[in-house]
Amino acid sequence: MNERLTSLLRRYDELSLLIQDPELVKNQNRYRDLMKEYAHVSEIAAAQNEITALSGQLEEARTLAQDEKDQDMRELAREELRELETRIADAEDRLKFLLIPRDPLDEKNIIMEIRAGTGGEEAALFAADLYRMYSRFAETRGWKFEIMNSNETELGGFKEIVFSVSGGNVYENLRYESGVHRVQRVPATEASGRIHTSAVTVAVLPEADETEIDIKPDDLRIDVMRAGGPGGQCVNTTDSAVRITHLPSGITVHCQDEKSQIKNKAKAMRILRARIYEMEAAKAASERAEARKSQVGSGDRSERIRTYNFPQNRLTDHRINLTLYKLDLIMQGDVAELFDALKLSAREELLQASSSAATAS
């Protein structure tokens, strides 16, 4: 940790000079990358400076607590000593988290897929509820939201909805949503008032750039057809829907939301790249099996991660044993507390793994 801290503080000094170069702004890509790196290392430098300043105050308080002859002043110094020790411990923990190497995927945009599972129409309605929850959260963060493809039911639910989310650190916040979301509530379609249990699957795919995934035209089979769905203009009137099959992997993507075949094809290619990217990342992760056994979860969409109990206004995340009694607010997009808890748990695991590795070496 000390070696990494020294290296990053040296890099902070280098970047502080580099970003002052007026020539830098002429290369916007390099300028953006350096400013992003500077923002990260400046947090580390600020945390270290805070620890240094607090440590100086701690020594002064310790001297005062030992040498001061006035009893009241000594007691005040001891109280300040305890407070400073707590603040230093908090700052050191924060610095440890900042020193953990960041996942390069964290800053990526995502494509999210929500599909109704067991539960029929009720599962489709809950899929729509989850979509609204994520979209409202995205709005609070100023993220851009775009529907890529959807299959709506007559009652307003979704058998499937695929959408992209772009903005700052999108994947970092939403990466732990992959898995099975279980809902317990009285369905709107149930007249007898019995509580039903349904399930929805969510997949979060980091969106890949064209340069990251090389897809050969010969590996694709592209079919066009008429769009289908419950009503709406231009449905079943033009061959605008597109289905793309990636022959080597067998992955199939279908898009029909746009009236334009060209736009549907472009969206389908974005989804296809993301799915291939995820597939390749999963292969790489399987080689690090121990890392995939984390408490937060591997992102496997077959893993049951959460239960939404509407009668008790309760949400439980089974991976970190977190229960919140504000499901009504969560479904309105108030999910920051939940997402922050998942990120914190993941960071603690990484910190523990990093400390264990350092001890072993």
Q: Which CATH class is domain 104-285+295-348?
A: alpha beta
DSSP 79-137: HHHHHHHHHHHHHHHHHHHHHSPPPGGGG--EEEEEEE-TTHHHHHHHHHHHHHHHHHH
Backbone angles phi, psi at 68, to 5 degrees: -65, 130
pLDDT of the residue at 231: 46
* Helix/strand/coil for 205: strand
284 neighbors 257 (Cβ within 8 angstroms): no
Other Cβ atoms closer than 10 A to 264: 24
Sign of the four-CA dihedral 254, 255, 259, 264? negative
Nearest CA to 242 among 250, 232, 252, 251? 252
Q: Which residues contact 64 (CB under 8 A, 6 or more apart)?
A: 73, 74, 77
Domain positions in the chain are: 2-99, 104-285+295-348
Convert the pLDDT of each residue in 129-160 to its tens digit: 999 999 999 999 999 999 988 999 998 999 99
Amino acid at 133: M
Convert the pLDDT of each residue in 230-282 to its tens digit: 544 444 456 788 999 999 888 899 888 888 888 888 888 889 889 888 888 77
Convert the pLDDT of each residue in 300-351 to its tens digit: 557 899 999 999 999 999 999 999 999 999 999 999 999 989 988 888 887 7
State how far the Cα of 36 lies from the Cα of 18, in Å rounded to an integer: 13
For strands 158-166 and 179-185, give the pairing: unpaired
